[in-house]
Structure formats: structure tokens, C-alpha cells
Copies of this chain bind each other. A is one copy, B any other.
């Protein structure tokens, strides 16, 4: 199935130094419009508003995931492990490369507001009338379905699913290193080489040799640190809230029959819930930002204000809460209304668990969406879930240190401070 390129292609990559492409199918996929579109979608959504270096795209990350997968398989081949089915190489590489091809602009916010799912889009793109589909079909007419099955976790070789999607898969390893590199923090750094060396295929799964325990602990600590320092940073949360409010408001206006001063078909399809693959592929962060730029001048003052805030980075202020408090929330909403602010848009309480990242789940739960945990293989060929062996991992896995925050536009509230109750004033530092 592999068709070797006459000459290996090499991408210069700041995280892995070089990314090597030896197969014509991989090369073909990278050059499809659908994959090139990932250059216009940022890997970390709005994090660039907190960490200005975080401007890297899902294109770079997808190449990185491919490269790590390639290295893992190459290690398996070098060690001639019997438990690795060699004929699964291409499907594994393709699934790794394409796993994020269904992401849209500011995916997480869009998925929440419009209830879509990038994994479903990934499969639609792989199976639909696209460049990606045509390249995959050149391998075999059934090949697109095979790749989609890996993404959906229904592929009949569980080891391939374990390779592409687990608690320590190429996806996570690349994004931790990459996000650390581009934000400039140290937390995400762990010894990738060492981890790649201690992985091995074993009875249908990818497991970790016991000698690699500490390296895995280090990886999970990196994940823990990145989770709290980067992914859950309250400034990033604040900008995501704005984004969500923009999409919600635009959807509301659309449902009300409002005539937008600026609109493009893919956006309209998104707002009306009629979007299909072709329209989805035309959506990117350039289009979203252009729309926001135009909507700054809409007649609807709410939409205009939200867009101005996002583009000019006048974010909502945040104030930590000891715990979620429904009574307080209701009380604040009432006060918001009393000073003429719509609490549906100008007040938000945030629970950090509502995010596409997690620290580590031992994952005994039968939830199908759970990624398989890390299993350690000892000298006597016994498998143990890592948190049973490592105090550090156990302590991380159980942590729920997420803070609760209230977000609101300080510049709109502050002028009316005197009309708020004393408790609210104290809470908000007014």
C-alpha cells in the first residue's frame, strides 16, 4: 500500500526539527485544499490574546502528530515487535495526519454554540467529495472508510486506535510540546525521545515499559501544568466567552430575521444550522475575523460592542469565586438588569471543566468517549494502570483545583457601581 516518494520530503519544524514524508499518499494529503485550510485555523483558538506567541495553526500541529506517529511506528519496526501489524502503517499515518481536519474556526466556541462536533466533520471530509477523499481512494476504494473508522474508534484493529487516540497519544504529545514552544513557557517540556523509546505494542495495545515510568510521570506533570497555566488561563477563558457571545448573538439576530450589514453564505449556513461540507470548508478564522470587523459597525449595539471588544482586546474582567453559587448568580443578574445591562451577554459564570482538555483520567468508567489510560508493562509481563503504580499520577488524577470565575465588562459596570448592592461592590472590587 505504501508508495515511496522518489525523494523524501522534509519540512523544517521548530518542535521536531524536521518532519519527514516518505510516502506519496501522505504528500498528496498535505497538498489538498482541505489540509492547507488548517493553516488558517489557530491551534489554540483565542490563547494568542493571552500568550502572544500562540499564533501557530492546526496545520503545524497536524504535521507534528503525523511525525510522532511515524517515529513510534519506526521504533516498532526497528525492534521487530511481533505485536505490531506492519500492514497498518499507512492507515495509522493517515489517521494521525487527518485527525484534526474537521476543525473549524475557534472550534471549541462554535461547537458549544452550534452543537457541532469536529470529529464528525473530520469523517465527513474524509468520506465526502473532497481532495482528501480522492487521494485516499487512490490507495483503495475502501481506504477512506478505514481511516474514518480509526477516527471514530470503530476500526477492527484496536491497536491502531490505541496508537492514534489514548491518554498518551501522538496528538497530546505534539500539542503539549508545541503549545509550550510557541507560548514560550517551560511547563510543556518533557523528554519525547525517551517516551518514544519506552512504548511498545502489546496484545492489541500500546503500553509503556516499566523503565519509562518516571518519563511518563514527567509527561503527565507537563500536562497538568499546561492545563492550568495555559489552557485554563482566565484571560483565555474571558476571550472565549466573548467569542461565544458573538456567535450566540449573531444566531439570535438571524433567527429574529435581522438583516446583517455584512454576511457571507457559509456564515449564514452556520447560523441557520444548514451548513454542509462545502460551506464548512470555506469557513476559517480569516472569515470569522473579517465578519467581526464588519459587525463592529452593525446597527445592533450588542453585536457591535461584542465584536469591538474581541478585535480590540477589551476583554471582560474576571473575579474568582470560592465556589459556584446559583443564588449569587441570580442576584447579580437582577442587579445587572437594574443598571440596564443584559446579563445574558454581560455576565458569565465559568466552570473550568467545560473544556476540551483534561489532566489525566485513569478511566475505569465505561464511557466510550474516554481515552484508554496508560498501562505499564513490567518485567513479568503484567499490565498495571499507571496511577496504581505512581503516587504522583494518582495525586494529579484526583485533583480538582479549577477555580470558578465571574466574567463581566468592567467598563460598563463601574460607572453604575453606586447602584449595586454593597456585597456585589465588594466582590467586584468597586
Question: Could you list which residues of chain A lie within 8 angstroms of chain B, going by C-beta atoms?
Answer: 10-15, 17-18, 31, 33, 36-37, 39-40, 48-49, 51-53, 55-57, 59-60, 63, 181-187, 189-191, 193-194, 197, 214, 217-218, 221, 224-225, 228-229, 262, 264, 282, 284-290, 293-294, 311-313, 391-392, 394-396, 398-399, 401
- Interchain CB contact under 8 A, A225 and B214: yes
- Interchain CB contact under 8 A, B313 and A31: yes
- Interchain CB contact under 8 A, A311 and B36: yes
> Contact partner of A391 among B11, B37, B189, B401, CB < 8 A?
B401
A289 contacts which chain B residues (CB < 8 A)? 40, 284, 286-287
Closest partner residue, chain B, to A191 (CB atom): B186
- In the bound complex, what is the Cα–Cα distance between A86 and B315 (angstroms)? 35
For the complex formed by this chain, how many copies does it contain in all? 4
- Decide if the interface of chain A is mainly helix, strand, loop or mixed: helix
- In the bound complex, what is the Cα–Cα distance between A182 and B185 (angstroms)? 15
In the assembled complex, how far is the CB of residue A234 from the closest CB belonging to chain B, in whole angstroms? 12
Closest partner residue, chain B, to A313 (CB atom): B36
A55/B51 contact (C-beta < 8 A), A187-B218, A285-B286 known: no
> Contact partner of A17 among B18, B184, B392, CB < 8 A?
B184
> Contact partner of A395 among B57, B191, B229, B392, CB < 8 A?
B392
A229 contacts which chain B residues (CB < 8 A)? 214
In the assembled complex, how far is the CB of residue A56 from the closest CB belonging to chain B, in whole angstroms? 6
A398 contacts which chain B residues (CB < 8 A)? 391
A52/B11 contact (C-beta < 8 A), A284-B289, A287-B290 known: yes
- Interchain CB contact under 8 A, A184 and B14: yes
Closest partner residue, chain B, to A229 (CB atom): B214
- Interchain CB contact under 8 A, B287 and A197: no
In the assembled complex, how far is the CB of residue A233 from the closest CB belonging to chain B, in whole angstroms? 10
A290 contacts which chain B residues (CB < 8 A)? 264, 286-287, 290
A14/B59 contact (C-beta < 8 A), A186-B190, A218-B187, A289-B40 known: no
- Interchain CB contact under 8 A, B191 and A189: no
In the assembled complex, 9 residue pairs joining A and B whose CB atoms fall closer than 8 Å, in A order, are A17-B184, A17-B193, A33-B312, A37-B311, A53-B60, A55-B57, A182-B182, A286-B290, A287-B290
